[in-house]
Amino acid sequence: MKNKKVITALLLAALMSVSACGKKEKTDKFKKYLSDGEYKEALDYSKEHDVDFDDYTDEIKEQADGVFAEYQEGKIKSTEAVAKLKILGNIAGKEGREYIKEIKSKIDDIEESASNFEDAEYYFSNEYYDDAKTYYEKVKEGTPHYEEAQKKLAECDEKYIEKVIKDADDYVESGWYSSAIDDLESAKSKVSDTKKLDDKIAEVKAAERTGKIKDIEDDYDQWGDTDYTIDSINELLEDYPNDAEIEALLDKYADIYADEVIEDAQYWADSNDYDYAAEKVEAALEKIPGNKKLTDYLATLGESAPAKLSDLSLGGKGFSLADKEMEDTKGNTYPEDNTIYSSDGTDKEYTAEYALDKKYTLLKGRVAPALEFNKDASVKVEVICDGKTEATYTIKASDYYSSIAVDVTGVSKLVFKVTPAEGDKLDKTSILISKVTLDKAEEKTEEKKEDGEKPTEAEEKAETATTTEKAE
């Protein structure tokens, strides 16, 4: 029995020894594949034998480091290195796989940084410093090109500023000041130190101011367009408010401009269009506010301008002030502020009465049938001065307007009277009296004219207007 137990123990020991030798043989073979860099063979071997990958973490890390070293030394390309690491990952335990991921991430960083550095170098060599800076900034710390990229970044700002300033100088030389300033302002957001750019912007703005002043004067010398010159100076003052030199330039051309406006306005005043003359002067005053020549002339113009119906008080019966633009039977229109109209009722007569108080010399205007005038009727319109009928107009729906021209020198009371041309009452026969002007009499002591003395200007105007009326 004792011998039997001894034999059994010896057999078990022998079996364990054989098993250990087999396991050692397996692990030694797997380890040899790893150390020889035969990762595919190691993978194939692991599929046929029970290999615990966690037992070889140190070896896996060593091999991963070796692959990375070969890649860094340029012995293998990134694609080959990644392929080897992928196979290593298939025969690594958890810790080994995490380590391999870190190595692969380093390779990816190096490759990406190398590509960004290459792009940055291309842009830098072609003077696209802003783009170069963008790519230099993408080169990651710890990669081979990082230190050089940092040096080039510092150069980029300096070179970029130099280029922007050079481009600005080219713009200024061509007179494109706004483009120069826009580029300089835009560049400020792309560099850390903006002092040189700020100084250049101030320089360009000063050059722009000087250049624009010269352009304004050159344009005026060539074209003589004072209106355009005033507009250009006002625009320049918006950019350079309270600039003494530009304000003096405005004063210089304002006097020339005022003389031209007054000459033009006087032409229209002489044509009896005082409203348009005043509009001309008022428009000019918007450009050169407070100009004494224009304000004085406007005051004189107002004093000499003829009066309108709206300047006088309306009396009588059956006439009203227009509250809108009016229209006659021919489609002519009449302004709201200088038109009266008679009722379309059925009274025997309608009158519009005005106190002239001997202040006026010549009455001019128009009389016309209102749009709804009865087509079967006709009316008589009389212009009565101090009780005496000076002009009579017969109006029908089919008639064109008639022009009024009556000498009212010394007249105290003016009456427009509308009565039926036939029958004894009016019926839907509204009359428009519009565009009336009354030339103002000169304020002087009246003197009796001697026989043979020439008629006054107002009398000549009235005579001419009456002759024209009769011809019409």
| Boundaries of every domain in the chain | 2-114, 224-304, 309-441+457-471
Place 399 in a pLDDT band, splitting at 50, 70 and 90: very high
- CATH topology classification for 224-304: 1.25.40
- On the question of pLDDT at 469 being above 80, the answer is no
Average pLDDT of the segment spanning 386-395 = 96
Q: Write out the chain in H/E/C secondary structure.
A: CHHHHHHHHHHHHHHHHHHHHHHHHHHHHHHHHHHCCCHHHHHHHHHHCCCCHHHHHHHHHHHHHHHHHHHHCCCCCHHHHHHHHHHHHHCCCHHHHHHHHHHHHHHHHHHHHHHHHHHHHHHHHCCCHHHHHHHHCCCCCCCCCHHHHHHHHHHHHHHHHHHHHHHHHHHHHCCCHHHHHHHHHHHHCCCCCCHHHHHHHHHHHHHHHHHHHHHHHHHHHHHCCHHHHHHHHHHHHHHCCCCHHHHHHHHHHHHHHHHHHHHHHHHHHHCCCHHHHHHHHHHHHHHCCCCHHHHHHHHHHHHHCCECHHHCCCEEEEEEECCCCEEECCCCEECHHHEEEECCCCCCCEEEEEECCCCEEEEEEEEEEECCCCCCCEEEEEEEECCEEEEEEEEECCCCCEEEEEECCCCCEEEEEEEECCCCCCCCCCEEEEEEEEEECCCCCCCCCCCCCCCCHHHHHHHHHHHHHHHC
Does residue 253 contact residue 229 with C-beta atoms inside 8 Å? yes
Angle at 287 between CA 286 and CA 289, to 5 degrees: 65
Among 106-120, 214-228, 404-418, 441-455, the minimum mean pLDDT is found in: 441-455
Output the pLDDT for position 468. Answer: 45
Place 389 in a pLDDT band, splitting at 50, 70 and 90: very high
Tokens coding 55: 């037992």
Nearest alpha-carbon partner for 335 in 321, 352, 350, 355 = 321
What's domain 309-441+457-471's superfamily in CATH? NPCBM/NEW2 domain (2.60.120.1060)
Average pLDDT of the segment spanning 403-427 = 93
Give percent above pLDDT 70 in the chain: 88
- On the question of pLDDT at 15 being above 70, the answer is no
* Mean per-residue pLDDT over the chain, rounded: 87
Output the pLDDT for position 441. Answer: 87
Average pLDDT of the segment spanning 303-326 = 90
pLDDT in tens, 239-264: 899 999 999 999 999 999 999 999 99
Does residue 294 contact residue 263 with C-beta atoms inside 8 Å? no
Distance CA 406, CA 365 (A): 9
- On the question of pLDDT at 460 being above 90, the answer is no
Q: Are strands 378-385 and 413-420 parallel, antiparallel or unpaired?
A: antiparallel
Average pLDDT of the segment spanning 362-381 = 93
Average pLDDT of the segment spanning 433-461 = 66
Distance CA 110, CA 140 (A): 8
Average pLDDT of the segment spanning 45-64 = 88
Average pLDDT of the segment spanning 69-86 = 91
Distance CA 63, CA 86 (A): 12
Does residue 254 contact residue 288 with C-beta atoms inside 8 Å? yes
Output the pLDDT for position 139. Answer: 93
Place 19 in a pLDDT band, splitting at 50, 70 and 90: very low
- On the question of pLDDT at 229 being above 90, the answer is yes
- On the question of pLDDT at 358 being above 60, the answer is yes
Output the pLDDT for position 333. Answer: 95
Output the pLDDT for position 235. Answer: 94
Nearest alpha-carbon partner for 219 in 209, 208, 230, 234 = 230
Instruction: Kindly report the pTM of this predicted structure.
Output: 0.51
